[in-house]
Amino acid sequence: MDYKEEYKKWLESDIVDDSIKDELKNLKDNEEELKMRFLGMLSFGTAGLRGIIGAGLNMMNIYTVRYTTQALSDLISNIGEDAKKKGVCIAYDSRNFSYEFAKESALVLAANGIKVYLFDELRPTPELSFAIRDKGAIAGINITASHNPKEYNGYKVYWDDGCQLPPNHAKQISDRLDEIDIFNDVKTISEEEANKKGLIEMMGIEVDERYINKVLEQAISTDVVKKQADTFKIIYTPFHGSGYRLVPEVLKRLGMKHIITVPEQMILDGNFPTVKSPNPENKEGFTTAIEMAKKENIDLIIGTDPDADRAGIVVRNNNDEYVTLSGNQVGVLLLDYIIKAEKEKGILKDNPAVIKSIVTTNLTQAICDKHNIKLFNVLTGFKFIGEKIKEFEETGEYSFLFGYEESYGYLKGTYARDKDAVVASMLITEMACWYKDKGMSLYEAIEKLYEEYGYYEETVTSITMSGLDGIEKMKTTGENLRKNPPSQIGGTKVAKVRDYLKDEVIDLATGEKEKTGLPSSDVLFYELIDGSCVVYRPSGTEPKIKLYILVKAENKSEGANKTEHYLDSITSLVK
């Protein structure tokens, strides 16, 4: 693609508005920026689009959103009239331009004769997943960039099962984008015309109520919550995002009486003015909440990201310091709690199964083994957990107990097929009450967990491949690792290499090969002889390489040393 021609095309188009043209005119002498914006379209991956908001083909704006929606519309139209009548559910979060992108998506769909169900205000991502199946829709669109910085927005596509788009449909959309023109081949109509034709239906509190009821069905220990509710306090922050209304409401209906929110972070604002990044993985975002907790003598803080699919927590340790727990730690705490609490009440279903991603802590396996529960490992991406849930429902072989990823995403229940910070916030609160009833804090609970199952430690880091050739650098790095596989990492021998791109597991001692049993994905998984694991995974949405270290150790000190050692070693191989 000739970036200069594409740039000229945008400047001369009658469709592009003046504000976009003005932004582009200011870039006329910035060759590198123009290349970045016009050498190609934002990549449509399995989850959709994600990029920086701005003018250009490689940016998030109403034209790239319309363009992508036209390709989705063509996919639906090719399936047939019934698919068009089933319609598409659309949700959005608090990010800048989220509402505008949602509305433009609705108008393109309507112009193609496709029914639209549009939420009347921002909603959590998991509620969209729920709404798709609740409405019997063919697909869903969610305008969000999850926990990315304020400069970003995104466009996630879901299919009729409530999971993110399956690979074959994602490829059809990507291929269609190569065939159509961003301006000439995109249909749209006015909001007035769409409403006149009855093609846009608003969704509101009636869907909220059905969703909330499903979330509340996942509660286990409401009796313990009732016992602790008079004295137990929590602080909640939505980080300016879509959890602001439903999370406090669910906690209130659970039975909690003291839910303190962070006032300045309850304000919906796509600039996220009180945090560097609206990411519940980062302690920095909890600064105001921690100051409040110190004054109120509170042990638990919960935060959810802008689209309320991820939840992070801060707890008070035995030295009266406020510390974050990792996504892995919260996940194993929830898993262990769910198993034990359901066993206490005699409600643990037959043939229960747990699902986690391959880069999530191996402590999960130890917990499942002890309680005789089947564990399934899937590729990174909650859609793979959702697909497994669907499989369980179809075969009846297993009953879904819990699914989670190390990246702060959790789900209990089958009402949604994506991670849900609303149900996670409820279960974390309930779990904290359960432990308090036993005289323990959540910090003490994780320490107790390590005593029971052994000490595990994990870390993840990202290496950004900057510049126009970032994607090419990522590709080359992976090729080099496959051509020259390391026989040791940090001085410890590699026992097996799992190459999910080639669908093979190689035993380095014997040379024997077997299949991974999972779909193709650009992931290299190194199993070391001491039981530790090192994972190389390029991001599917950004020019970043993610490195995961999962270790088992005798204690915290040994775990920290191993983690640092292996991370330094694998980092030196990919830089």
- Give the residue range(s) of CATH 3.30.310.50 domains in the chain: 455-574
Give the 3-state secondary structure percentages of the chain, helix then strand then coil, rounded to 5: 40, 20, 35
Side by side, the strands of the sheet bearing 139-143 are: 48-52, 152-159, 139-143, 88-92, 116-119, 200-203
pLDDT 10s digits, 138-180: 999 999 999 999 999 999 999 999 999 988 999 999 999 999 9
| Residue 542 pLDDT greater than 80, yes or no | no
Identity of the highest mean pLDDT range in 20-29, 47-56, 241-250: 241-250
| Residue 540 pLDDT greater than 70, yes or no | no
Q: CA distances (Å), 118 to each of 6, 103, 145, 206, 484, in order?
A: 33, 8, 18, 13, 51
What is the band of 68 on the pLDDT scale with cuts at 50, 70, 90? Answer: very high
* Annotation marks residue 146 as catalytic: yes
Residue 562, pLDDT score: 93
pLDDT 10s digits, 309-339: 999 999 999 999 999 999 999 999 999 999 9
Catalytically annotated residue among 94, 146, 357, 407: 146
Residue 476, pLDDT score: 84
What is the band of 418 on the pLDDT scale with cuts at 50, 70, 90? Answer: very high
Residue 419, pLDDT score: 98
- Give the residue range(s) of CATH 3.40.120.10 domains in the chain: 41-203, 211-452
Residue 24, pLDDT score: 95
Q: What is the mean pLDDT of the chain?
A: 95
The mean pLDDT of 450-474, rounded to a whole number, is 85
| Residue 541 pLDDT greater than 70, yes or no | no
Residue 472, pLDDT score: 77
pLDDT 10s digits, 243-292: 999 999 999 999 999 999 999 999 999 999 999 999 999 999 999 999 99
Residue 549, pLDDT score: 97
Residue 177, pLDDT score: 96
The mean pLDDT of 212-225, rounded to a whole number, is 98
Residue 503, pLDDT score: 95
Decide: 186 and 41 in contact? Cβ < 8 Å: no
Report the alpha-carbon distance of residue 322 to residue 314 in Å, rounded: 6
| Residue 190 pLDDT greater than 80, yes or no | yes
Write the DSSP string, 121-182.
S---HHHHHHHHHHHT-SEEEEE--TT--TTEEEEEEEETTSSBPPHHHHHHHHHHHHHS-T
The arrangement of secondary structure in 211-452, i.e. its CATH architecture, is 3-Layer(aba) Sandwich (3.40)
| Residue 47 pLDDT greater than 80, yes or no | no
Task: Give the global pTM.
Answer: 0.95
The arrangement of secondary structure in 41-203, i.e. its CATH architecture, is 3-Layer(aba) Sandwich (3.40)
The mean pLDDT of 17-22, rounded to a whole number, is 95
What is the band of 473 on the pLDDT scale with cuts at 50, 70, 90? Answer: confident
Percent of the chain's residues with pLDDT above 90: 92
Residue 412, pLDDT score: 98
Enter the tokens of residue 408.
Answer: 């702060």
Three-state DSSP class for 187?
Answer: coil
Side by side, the strands of the sheet bearing 258-261 are: 258-261, 233-237, 300-304, 311-316, 322-325
The arrangement of secondary structure in 455-574, i.e. its CATH architecture, is 2-Layer Sandwich (3.30)
Residue 1, pLDDT score: 67
| Residue 468 pLDDT greater than 70, yes or no | no
Side by side, the strands of the sheet bearing 399-405 are: 374-378, 352-357, 399-405, 409-411
| Residue 470 pLDDT greater than 80, yes or no | no
| Residue 500 pLDDT greater than 80, yes or no | yes
